[in-house]
A and B are shown apart, each in its own frame.
Chain A
Amino acid sequence: MHRLTNGRGRGALITGGAVAAALLLAACGGGSNSGSGNGSDPDLGSGPAKAGTVKADALKGTTLSFVSYGGIYQDGQMKAAMEPFGKESGAKILQDGPTDNSKIKAQVSAGNVTWDVIDTTNIFAGMQCGKLFMELDTSIVDTSKIPAGLVTDKCSVPAMSYGLVIVYNTEKYGANPPTSWADFFDTAKFPGKRGIQGATGDVDQGVLEGALLADGVAPDKVYPIDTNRALKKLSSIKKDLVFWTTGAQAQQYLESKQVDMELLWTGRAYSAVKNGAPYKPMWNQWMPLADHLVVPKGAKNPKAAMAAINYYLGAEQQAKLTELTSYSPINTDAKPNQDDLARSYLTTTSERQKDMFKVDNKWWSENHDAMVTAFTNWLNG
């Protein structure tokens, strides 16, 4: 083979190498000047912001990238809010995903932010407010129609609302269903497998709280969480626990009847039941959760990003989002058109508000990393 490298061939190869090197350098350095077309100070019109609206053609020539968790959720967000926003404002909307917190950190710390509007967890939004995320300008984002208590920090607004709820197999426990967190942990009275979240690198708020409630802690004494006590309670049923790592897996456990009770996201529970899985939610002390929308620091066009968020919060957009995804709307005027089953899974109704256990997001923002570490160690203990 080496006979092929006569003088001419060698020259070509060296040139090839140099071209490859140049391309690599270009790829590394080129990102920084790929921003939006026009300036970062668009004219969004005068007067106070109104959720669900944007000044026509105010963002012509601007490019925004919207990042979320994929699946029917992101499709719904695009159809209900981001695509109509692009049409009205003239902005070009790109999408990317799934949201990866380490990519946000990498972009912000490298000063090369290519994501403009990001859907992330409420806890991460709270933890990184002022660090990775910028405060939202309330003259652009109208938060007046967001249900009370759902705005938890200055850098984010909810993207939708859902919850962590226990569902049980009606074929198995139909006559005598579980009614409390204590029943979820009572494997003598309710024998059978329990599914809970055991995702790599994360723990939802709710799992540890539920263990404490089952152990007899009064709801107003749950915070600060006594990690040892909560994990000890979880250990007491560890041999009956089955862990799910993704929402899809949690849903699949129900549809293939791998578990008799499961603690999972309301949207996934609804999808499984709609597909015929014989389960019913136990709403007593369910835990509200939410994804939040943020704008990363160093975003090329923060005002345009916030205008998109403001549009996303509109009543019509939220109604459509709920119809497409089954997640609950975060605009009090939203009137989604749903069937009875879907409506029964909404978490923002007054009935659900009465049953819920209020998660302390502020405490979680301060203790998230310690909880993830403790939970990971417990899982692998």
Chain B
Amino acid sequence: MAVIDALTQSTRPGVGAGRAAPSERWGRLALLAPSIILLIGVFVVPLAIMLVRTFTDPHPGLENLTWYLGDATQRRVLVRTFTTAAKVTAVCLLLGYPYAYAMVAAGPKLRAVLTLLVLVPFWTSLMVRTFAWVILLQDNGPIQRALAGIGLDNLHLIRSNVGVIIGMSQILLPFLVMPLYAVMSTIDRRLVLASSSLGARPITSFFRVWLPLSLPGIGAGSLMVFISSLGFYVTPALLGSPSDALVSQQIYTQVSGLLQWGRAGAMGLVLLVATFAILAVLMLSIRRAARRQTRQAEDATS
């Protein structure tokens, strides 16, 4: 959620900014205290233990990291994990953007229905949804049979990367639709009218006015989907082939199959650092785009 705050605040400087009086600042800290203590106990401390183990188990040194970065199979799996996450994000954007727009454009009744359609799967257990996909996608399953009917035989929808992407996209779609909808619903739609009254064709209005204003939603939603994708375990395990394993499955192998916790720590560390690096690059570029936009807006008004 911090991501959404950071991204949306950067375009709305009035909210949340400004210096608070000292007493207020203490008050805010006190509000945060229980959750900070909880996070330290159940997140920071275990993470620190994992870090220490990465460099000490079974011997002090960098052997776990050098093993991980030097192993061709592990590198291939890491790259596959990031490409899969990127593909899932792209699929979610392609499906989620028009959907969020439809939610904003719809009347209150239709909007309620559309919202419910996003939320009902979101409230359904991940296991249930994944098993439902297993039944739908399997060979001789309904989707395969329908496709065979129109001459598309032998598509590998399950036990393949395609199945994993289908399943993960469906599970993660709400994480893109909701932030997109939140941002789009704050966009002043008179701006689009204004642009068309100034002679812009609909497509120009969309690309020059609507799309830039919805960027924070795209950024926040995509990041949520992308980062969640990196850690998926159950869905790739059930819908994918073990030949298309992702990092989380490899970490499981080290933790539970081989009891190599130092190596598992190294894998987690590399994943974490890579994720933060991508996050940092994206945040910077989005902020810069947003700042440019505000500047343009200011130039236009002055």
**Residues on A facing B (Cβ under 8 Å):** 2, 5, 9-10, 13-14, 16-17, 20-21, 24, 28, 100-102, 105, 198-202, 242-243, 245, 249, 256-258, 369, 372-373, 376-377, 379-381
Contacts and interface: CB of A to CB of B under 8 A. Distances in A.
Interface string B238-278: 10011111000110111111110100000000000000000
A190 to B, nearest CB: 18
Contact of B258 (A13, A201, A249): A201
A10 B138 contact: no
Given A198-B243, A201-B252, A372 B257 contact: yes
A13 B159 contact: no
B24 A102 contact: no
A76 to B, nearest CB: 24
Contacts of B249: 200-201
Contacts of B238: 245, 249
Contact of A200 (B33, B73, B245, B259): B245
A334 B232 CA distance: 46
A198 B38 contact: no
A14 B26 CA distance: 11
B257 A20 contact: no
A253 B289 CA distance: 51
A243 B255 contact: no
B38 A20 contact: yes
The SS class assigned to the B binding surface is helix
Interface in B5-56: 20, 24, 26-28, 30-31, 33-34, 36-38, 41-42
B158 to A, nearest CB: 9
B189 interface: no
Contacts of A369: 258
Given A102-B255, A369-B258, 5 more contacts: A13-B31, A17-B30, A17-B33, A198-B242, A372-B257
A256 B139 CA distance: 9
Interface in B86-119: none
B293 interface: no
Contacts, number: 103
A376 B251 CA distance: 12
B243 A5 contact: no
B136 interface: no
A21 B37 contact: yes
18 contacts: A2-B31, A5-B30, A5-B31, A10-B27, A28-B41, A101-B259, A200-B237, A200-B257, A201-B253, A201-B254, A201-B255, A201-B258, A243-B159, A372-B257, A373-B258, A376-B250, A379-B245, A380-B244
A167 B54 CA distance: 44
A309 B142 CA distance: 48
A219 to B, nearest CB: 28
A102 B28 contact: no
B76 interface: yes
Given A10-B30, A258-B139, A2 B20 contact: yes
A258 B157 CA distance: 13
A372 B37 CA distance: 40
Given A5-B30, A21-B37, A257-B140, A101 B256 contact: yes
A313 to B, nearest CB: 28
A101 B254 CA distance: 11
A199 B243 CA distance: 10
B33 A380 contact: no
B241 A243 contact: yes
Interface in B196-241: 237-238, 241
A200 B37 contact: no
B73 A376 contact: yes
B138 A21 contact: no
B77 interface: yes
Contacts of B139: 258
A295 B20 CA distance: 60
Contacts of B159: 242-243
A122 to B, nearest CB: 15
Nearest to B243: A379
Given A16-B34, A17-B34, A245-B237, A372 B76 contact: no
A20 B258 contact: no
A258 B138 contact: yes
A2 B27 contact: yes
A100 B27 contact: no
A372 B258 contact: yes
Given A16-B34, A257-B140, A258-B140, A380 B253 contact: no
A211 to B, nearest CB: 16
